[in-house]
Amino acid sequence: MRIAIVRGGGVAGVTSRACLNSDALPPADAEALEERLRESGLLEMPEGPRRRPRHPDELLYAIIVEEGGTQRTLRFTDENLPDAVRSLVEWVDGRSESEHGIGPPG
């Protein structure tokens, strides 16, 4: 399973990506990632944006989950990012196995 978190907007206006592959994790941590993913509810949510962003410089999120040959993309703004999803994002950000990249929009 692979999870990618794309963030855009914000005062910086840059696009950042954090990617984590469960294969890179020790088995217990890979299981913890699966558990957090289930708790986040991302696998049950309909794909697409929740609501158009209206606050200037608010962060926009796209969370892409790839598993078993399928891919789901969920989009949020900072305002409507569910707490359980934010917790997952912070967990992925905090893993040393995560790969991070930053670039301009587009």
Partner 1 sequence: MTRMTCCSIAPPDLLARIVEEGDPAQRAAAVQTMAASASMRTQRAFVGRIAREFDQDVRALAFMQPPEAAEGVRQAVYDLQHGGRSQLPGDLVRAGDDPPVEDAAVNDVYGATEQTYDFYNEVYGRESVDGRDLELVSTVHYSTNFDNAFWNGAQMVYGDGSGRIFKVGALTGSIDVIAHELTHGVTQFTAGLEYSSQSGALNESFSDVFGSLVKQRSLGQTAEQADWLIGEGTLAPGLGTALRSLKAPGTAYDGDRQPAHMDDYVDLPDDGDPANDDGGVHVNSGIQNHAFYLAATAIGGYAWEKAGKIWFETLSGERLTPTADFQQAATATVEVAGELFGDGGEREAVETAWRQVGVLA
Can you give the binding site for partner 1, defined by CB under 8 A? 6-16, 48-49, 52-62, 75, 78-79, 81, 83, 86, 90, 93-94, 100, 102-106
- Tell me which residue has tokens 């206006």: 13
The smaller minimum CB distance to partner 1, of residues 26 and 105, is found at 105
Between residues 27 and 36, which has the closer beta carbon with respect to partner 1?
36
Q: Which two tokens stand for residue 99?
A: 């790969």
Tell me whether residue 22 or residue 77 sits nearer to partner 1 (CB atom): 77
